[in-house]
Structure 1
Amino acid sequence: MTQQINVTIWNEFRHEKTNPKAGEIYPDGMHAAIAEGLSVQGELRFATLDEAEHGLTDEVLNNTDVLIWWGHLAHGEVKDEIVEKVHNRVLKGMGLIVLHSGHFSKIFKKLMGTSCDLKWREADEKERIWVVNPAHPIAAGIGEYIELPQEEMYGEHFDIPQPDELVMVSWFEGGEVFRSGCCYTRGNGKVFYFRPGHETYPTYHNPQVRKVIDNAVKWAAPVDREYPRYGHAATPLEPIKGTQ
């Protein structure tokens, strides 16, 4: 039986409207291109920055198993109360996939607890994304590497906590390397950061990039189990000597 996973793709959706090159590559928005690569069953939603509550109402979040996040120009415009709601949903089990410049989003920085800063350069250079953990589910169906003819460079040092699992590492034509596929657990939720996806390159039309995101959605889906109980445990599981 195919697993039912409800996915919401959140996209800032500013570049496609203001940058002619981005608009030509993604006429319906990057979120639409990302959605084309998903094979999971379940409800698929889009949410964008300029919608009320950024499209992330309580109803949407409570019915989202995995949230995909792309942002760049307007991280600061994302309301703190929405970030807090997303954060709480991740801790309670919702998966989160953060793409490319989403490394500087409020939600990713809140979950990482670091600056999430890095080096960058736009020089139309080749990127080779090496699979360094071929047994990981996110690498299923991917060869030794993914080669992108042109991408924006991100370089180390990437100020993030040590990943729980490192799945992919990028090499760039200019010589830099970067941890480009990073897995984390936060509370009951799983988080995956995936590096490629600059808005002026057709990266989200690449079949292997789409495959990675599709695999990541399946990996990040919530585990079907009872939510842990926290707080005061007044009733012990076994009798305690001296208290009877």
Structure 2
Amino acid sequence: MKVTIWNENRHENKNPAVRSVYPEGIHGAIQQFLSKSGVDADTATLDEPEHGLSQQTLDQTDVLVWWGHIAHDEVKEEVVERVYQRVLDGMGLIVLHSGHFSKIFKKLMGTSCDLKWREADEKERLWVVDPSHPIASGIGEYIELPQEEMYGEHFDIPAPDELVFVSWFEGGEVFRSGCTYKRGKGKVFYFRPGHETYPTYHNADVQKVILNAVQWAKPAGSNKPVYGNAKPLEAIGANQN
């Protein structure tokens, strides 16, 4: 299995506070723990040619992990369409935190994907609401993060195929924080936590969820369906008269 971690990599280059938390970038931090778990993981960033997502790279990618925030509008439409087609063809997609506003997630969801938010250094508790789901494997009743950005309902997304996590925040809001979807042959998982100024991706439980999600989202390996006009498999009685 080959995983590509995409990150716009802008906060890390502009904000020393972010760079101190993620000296190798958010993409580098995710690559590190995935690689330690035996996953073949590479990275790609916004400012690379074709945003690091050439057709060849995507064709070799089984699961794409996506983190973006301040530069969603800079992602070229042709790259978005390329990723979209790969998801429909079976590539898994893991969308993290502020990636909810990415062009690719909004295209796959067909809604605004808008929400409430607040930065107040508040506690987040992600409750496991589907303990039988493979993405929640190895996680207890909840994951507690001492500081995170708040996301609150209403989250303008389609009803998830499966809801794995629901967050509660110290200020009182709740949020659907772990949502799965199927689009074409591909699987999509949205996972909420991961504000750039907090060490969320160094948390062992968060890492476990992302690793589980990568395994869950990998292509099933089934044959591509055949579409269009089809010849009958059996003789049709009406045609024999």
TM-score of the alignment, normalized to the shorter chain, above 0.5: yes
Gaps of 5+ in 1: none
The answer to which structure has the higher helix fraction is 2
Distance change (3 Å), C-alpha of 1:20 and 1:42: closer
- Structure 2: 5+ residue runs without aligned partners? none
- Report the TM-score, using the length of structure 1 for normalisation: 0.96
- The 3 A distance-change label for structure 1 pair 79 and 180 is same
State TM-score, norm by structure 2: 0.97
Structure-1 separation of matches of 2:33 and 2:5: 12
1:200 deviates by 0.3
The residue type paired with residue 63 of structure 2 is: V
* From 174, 179, 182, the counterpart of 2:179: 182
C-alpha contact 1:8 1:66 (8 A) present in aligned 2: yes
What's the counterpart of residue 36 of structure 1?
32
Choose from 53, 76, 79 the match for 1:79: 76
RMSD: 0.9
Between the aligned partners of 1:201 and 1:147, the Cα distance in structure 2 is 13
- Once the 2 structures are TM-superposed, how far is the Cα of residue 35 of structure 1 from its aligned partner? 1.6
**Letter of the aligned partner of 1:179 in structure 2?**
R
Matched, 1:107 2:104: yes
8 Å CA contact 2:31–2:42 kept in 1: the answer is no
**C-alpha distance in structure 1 between counterparts of 2:55 and 2:85, whole Å:** 11
Q: Does 1:133 pair with 2:119?
A: no
Whole-angstrom CA distance in 2 between matches of 1:41 and 1:28: 19
Q: Does residue 149 of structure 2 align to residue 149 of structure 1?
A: no
Corresponding letter in the other structure for 1:58: Q
Instruction: Calculate percent identity across the aligned residue pairs.
Output: 72
Matched with 2:218 is: 221
Q: How many residues align?
A: 239
**Secondary structure of the equivalent of 2:237?**
coil
Shift of 1:155: 0.1
Corresponding position of 1:205: 202
Letter in 2 for 1:77: E
